[in-house]
Structures are given as C-alpha cells and as structure tokens.
Amino acid sequence: MERPRAWVFTLGTEVVSGLVVNTNAAFLGRRLTLMGFTVSGVLSLPDDIDAISTFLNYVLKKYEPELVVTTGGLGPTYDDITLEAVAKALGRPLILNEEAYTMIREKYLVRGYELTPERLKMAYLPEGAKAIPNPVGTAPGALLKVGRTLVVCLPGVPKEMEEMWVNYVEPSIRELSPAKVSEGSFTLIGVPEASLAPILKNYISMYPRVYVKSNPKGFELNAPVLEIYIAASAPTQEEASGILRKVCEELIQKATNIGGRIRDLRC
Amino acid sequence: MERPRAWVFTLGTEVVSGLVVNTNAAFLGRRLTLMGFTVSGVLSLPDDIDAISTFLNYVLKKYEPELVVTTGGLGPTYDDITLEAVAKALGRPLILNEEAYTMIREKYLVRGYELTPERLKMAYLPEGAKAIPNPVGTAPGALLKVGRTLVVCLPGVPKEMEEMWVNYVEPSIRELSPAKVSEGSFTLIGVPEASLAPILKNYISMYPRVYVKSNPKGFELNAPVLEIYIAASAPTQEEASGILRKVCEELIQKATNIGGRIRDLRC
C-alpha cells in the first residue's frame, strides 16, 4: 500500500521573514504523518500572488499529490491574497460563495460591525469550493477538488487553523488514507550517532514502512545522548503496533550490544 | 535599490513530518530580513535526493536569487544526503575536501573515535566548495558560488547552525546586501483588523520599502487587540530609522482617530 502524499503551503510574509515560528507546519506535519500521509514538502512563501500560484501549479502538475493544505492569507487585509493565488493557479474565478457569505454576515452582525468591502472579500472563494466554518475567528476556509488532488485552504492563526483541521478537515480526508501509524521513542546514552548510523541504515532497507531517526541531544558526563524515534505504518493499528515493538526491541538489543544504555522507553 | 533575494531550504524528514518545530527557518528569516534580504521562500523537504535537487535546480534557474541557504542533512547517517543532492542539482561531483577532512579528523581524534566511512563522508563536499568550520558539532558546512548565487549549506542542529551563521556566514555575505533595516512595533486596542485594513493598504503603495503587518492577538474586555509590526529598509541605518519613526507616528495618529488605544510602543 502506497502512502498518500500531502504538500503543505504555509503562506505569509511574517512566516518567511521569521516574525513567527512556523508552528502550523509542525502541527500539520504531525497530524498528517499520524494519519498515514507522507508529507512530501512544506513551502512558505510571502504574500505574493505570482509566487504562490506558480509553486502551487508546479506541485499540482508535477506530483499530483492526494492533498494540498494551505494556511494563511484568508483574512480581510490587503495582503491576504491566498484565495486569489489559488484561483489563478487553477484557472478558476473567485465567486461569492453563499455558505461563506452567510458565515461572515452572522459573525459581524453579532458583534455590531458593518459588512465593509474588506470583510465581504472573505466570502469570495474559488468556483466549486465548499466553505469550511471557522468557529474561532471570522475568515471561512475553502475545500476544493482539483483533478485527483483535494485542496484545503485554512487561516494562518494557529487556534483557528487547528480547530478547523481537527473538527472539519480530518473527518473529510480520512478516506484518502487507509494507513495506520504507530510511533515510539527511547533515549540512548553512550553511543555516538556515527556508530549507530550503519545499524539504522540496515533498517531502512529491511523495513521500507518503518521510519527511524536519531536526534543528537548533547552529552551527559561526556557520553553522547541520542533520542531515537521510530514510526511504523500498516493497514491496521494492530499491525503497526506489532512492527513498532519488533523494531524497537531489535534496535535496543543492537544498541546495548555496542555499549549503549536505554532510558525513557516508549515503544 | 533592489533588495537582494534569499531562499532557505530546511531539509529533513523530521521537519516535514512535524517531529521538530522549524526554528531554523524563523532564525534565518529574521537574520536575513534584518540584513536587508527579501526572503522569497522557505522550503522544507524530506531526505530525498531527487526532491531536493529538483527544487534547488528549479529555484536557481527560475529566480537566480543572490543567496540560497540549506540547513540539515550534513551528518554521518544514511539519510544525511543534502550535499549529494546539491552536487546533483549543480552537476558537480562530491570530492574529498582537504579543509573539511582536517576539521573532521581533529574532532574525532580528540574524542578518541575512529574515522569510519560514515564519518569520512562528512569531508566530501561539492567540487569548488569552501568548508565552513563547525565549532559546536562535527559536520562542516559548505559555501559555493553557482552563477550569481551563493549557496551555503549548514547543519540542522540549531546550536551548530546559529553559531556558524553568526560567526562565519554573516561576515561572508554582508557585501551582498548594502541595505539597512529598522524595525518597530506597537499594540493597538479597540480597532478590528478589518477596519485597519484600508489604512495599511495605503501604506504599501505609498512606501514600497516599508513592511507593515497586523497580527491579531485576541480580545481584552471584548476589544480586539492587534500587534502592529513595521520594518523600514534604506541604504543607511539613519534613513531607515527616520522612515520607521515617520510611518509609526502617522499610523498611530490614524489608528487613534478611529478610536484605537496604543500600548507597548517600540518605534
């Protein structure tokens, strides 16, 4: 079973210029991996219609991934241009979306604000899109099918994005990936990363659906400390857990054989 | 004066799968912006030679940016393949670099470890590269000129990357950007983002070298709270500070005119 592929576009000049740390990328990368997707790339671009539509087009045509998620650029300000860029990339017009219009109208009427042109702009989605409700903020999201790719556009404010992701997007995309993933980790003390390298290299060829990564965590009393992370993917949760336990046991055996000590075992 | 453009590639399966939060992107975005660069894009890719070389090639040919920085994938393990991907993208061979070899040899001899094939791999850089010393870890960086683009490859461990960036890379690239940047911010209470939007929109057309961004910070006693960030770029620090102060004063004037209150002024 081939893992479905996802691309994430985290958009906004504040992201590329380092004004914010890109926690949206980490959140989505984590959730998608757990759902059995391979995250093929995460691209941050400034609020630039040409750059966004160019790269979106390139990724859609070249890779035809099962899923593209964008975050950011859905709000009322002049630099919120994501949907314009998506519409340009797909060659579809932006049209007033009835669902989105209703969502926005209700938000502003409740707070006693007028429906200015800037606010109304948030109700324009690419033709054929479904509006995604935003229970935390005002800008609705958009979900549309482009060839074999599902494109999901979410706001950049983490609280809004996460809430919409968990409550609306995940239930909508579950059918894209039948895979289950099981994850574990342990801390390994006393084995330098380069001594572990040939052992991990063997694993990648033995188990193509296992991901093993060593992260150096510094030194304790001159002994190198590594965090070993393992993920296993399989059609059922039970199989995935079984593979994880097996790989974990074997790795611990081999690492202790070359003088390593194990701590914080979670496998 | 056109601002020089930079692209950042933050490489590693642990980045795209959300195992780590991409603080390297934030650090580099911030430092590059302060040095007067426009960060045109930040791309995270898994440890995949084809994907990395494809996108590196695409960015180099399409945009010819002044600077490309890569982080990650320089270590001894099987999935550390960044330099192989860079060499492939540029059509240059990886060769044993004398400087890098000396750096690595000294590191391992001091700690009493052998120079295994995995460790020796870190001394192979693309032909024509200069080795960048790594005062914190073991893998040296690489710096090479490709047409009009300077390509800089750094390790992914934040402590190593940051130390090498500040002490070695910044002094080497200062001549690429003559621009100085001045930054300021304030908190604005009581004005919804959409009411501020038309004012900010005017600024972008009036001052093309000023960057203004509003970030929603939630509500206090039902009043919306926005953080307003302003950056101004100019040939001298004095001019940049002058523009920043002017824009800041004008924005505060306009925001208070529509009922806003100012706090935490840093302009």
Using the predicted structure, report yes or no on whether residue B98 has a pLDDT greater than 80: yes
Tokens for B188?
Answer: 């604005």
- Burial of A63: CB neighbours in 10 Å, binned 0-12, 13-18, 19+: middle
What pLDDT is stored for residue B204 in this prediction? Answer: 65
- Does B76 share its domain with B196? no
CB contact under 8 A, B77 and A15: no
User: Does A163 share its domain with A209?
Assistant: no
B110 touches chain A (CB under 8 A): no
Sign for the pseudo-dihedral over CA of B26, B29, B31, B33: negative
Do A14 and A101 lie in one domain? The reply is yes
- Mutate: best of B8, B11, B52, B78, partner A, most A CBs <10 A: B78
A213, A219, A221, A251, best to mutate vs chain B, most B CBs in 10 Å: A213
Of A176, A206, A237, which residue sits at a domain end? A176
Region of B74 please: left (phi>0), alpha (psi -120 to 50) or beta. alpha
**Mean pLDDT within B215-229:** 88
More confident residue, B209 or B77: B77
What is the distance in angstroms between the Cα of A131 and the nearest Cα belonging to chain B?
20
Q: What is the pLDDT of residue B209?
A: 72
Residues 6+ apart with CB under 8 A from B163: B134, B135, B136
Closest chain A residue to B217 measured between Cα atoms?
A: A157
Identify the weakest region by mean pLDDT among B48-52, B82-86, B176-180. B176-180
Which of A176, A201, A220 lies at the terminal end of a domain, its last residue? A176
Written as one letter, the residue type at B57 is N
- Is the ipTM, as predicted for this complex, more than 0.95? no
Residues 6+ apart with CB under 8 A from B225: B187, B188, B189, B216, B217, B218, B219
Say whether pLDDT at A205 is over 80: no
When mean pLDDT is compared over A74-78, A174-178, B64-68, B209-213, the highest value belongs to B64-68
| Residues A102 and A168 grouped into a single domain | yes
Average pLDDT over residues A101-126: 91
Provide the b/e sequence for A186-207 (b: ≥16 CB within 10 Å). bbbbbbbbbbbbebbeebeeeb
Q: How confident is the model at residue B113 (pLDDT cuts 50, 70, 90)?
A: confident
Give the pLDDT confidence score for residue B205 in this predicted structure: 65
Long-range contacts at B110-117 (CB < 8 A, ≥ 24 apart): B113/A192, B113/A194, B113/A195, B116/A194, B116/A195, B116/B76
pLDDT at B208: 66
Please state the rounded mean pLDDT for residues B132-158. 96
* A265, pLDDT greater than 80: yes
Q: pLDDT-based confidence at B147, cuts 50/70/90?
A: very high
Averaged pLDDT, A62-75: 97
- Which residues touch A168 (CB under 8 Å, ≥6 apart)? A132, A133, A141
Segment B186-191 mean pLDDT: 96
Nearest to A141 by CA among A69, A44, A35: A69
Q: What is the pLDDT of residue A1?
A: 53
- Asked if A18's CB is within 8 angstroms of B30's CB, the reply is yes
CA distances from A223 to A235, A258, B221 (A): 39, 13, 53
Number of domains in chain A: 2
Q: What is the reported pLDDT for B194?
A: 86
| pLDDT score, position A34 | 79
A259 touches chain B (CB under 8 A): no
Q: CA-to-CA distance for B256 and B236, rounded, in angstroms?
A: 30
Domain around B47:
5-176
Indicate whether A104 pLDDT > 90: yes
Interface contact flag, B16 A29, Cβ < 8 Å = yes
Q: Are residues B101 and B214 in the same domain?
A: no
Q: What is the CATH number of the domain that holds B260?
A: 3.30.70
Residue type, B245: R
Pair A147, A168 in one domain: yes
Q: Which of A161, A176, A191 is the endpoint of a domain?
A: A176
Mean pLDDT, residues B19-34 taken together: 91
- What is the percentage of chain A residues whose pLDDT exceeds 70? 99
pLDDT at A136: 93
Q: Are B43 and A44 in contact (CB < 8 Å)?
A: yes
Q: What was the pLDDT predicted at A179?
A: 78
Judged by CB atoms within 8 Å, which residues 157-216 of A form the interface with B?
157, 192-198, 200-201, 204, 211, 213-216
Token pair of A168 as six digits: 């609306």
Q: Are residues A46 and A115 in the same domain?
A: yes
**CATH code of the domain containing A71:** 3.40.980.10
Residue B143 has pLDDT above 80, yes or no: yes
Query: Is there a single domain that holds both residue A185 and residue A131?
Result: no
Cα B57 from Cα B5, distance rounded (Å): 16
Considering the domain architecture, whether residues A22 and A121 belong to the same structural domain is answered as yes
pTM: 0.80
Put simply, whether A76 touches B (Cβ < 8 Å) is yes
Beta carbons of B4 and B33 less than 8 angstroms apart: no
Q: Per-residue pLDDT for A113 more than 70? A: yes
**Are A107 and A235 in a shared domain?**
no
**Chain A partners of B38 at a C-beta cutoff of 8 Å?**
46
- Are B74 and B132 in contact by the 8 Å Cβ rule? The answer is no
Q: Do A77 and B30 touch (CB under 8 A)?
A: no
Judge: B196–A116 Cβ closer than 8 Å, yes or no.
no
Tell if the CB–CB gap between B42 and A44 is shorter than 8 Å.
yes
pLDDT for the residue B213: 80
Residues B170, B205, single domain; the answer is no
pLDDT given at position A210: 82
Q: Is residue B33 located within the same domain as residue B115?
A: yes
Give the pLDDT of residue A109. Answer: 84
Over residues B203-207, the mean pLDDT reads: 71
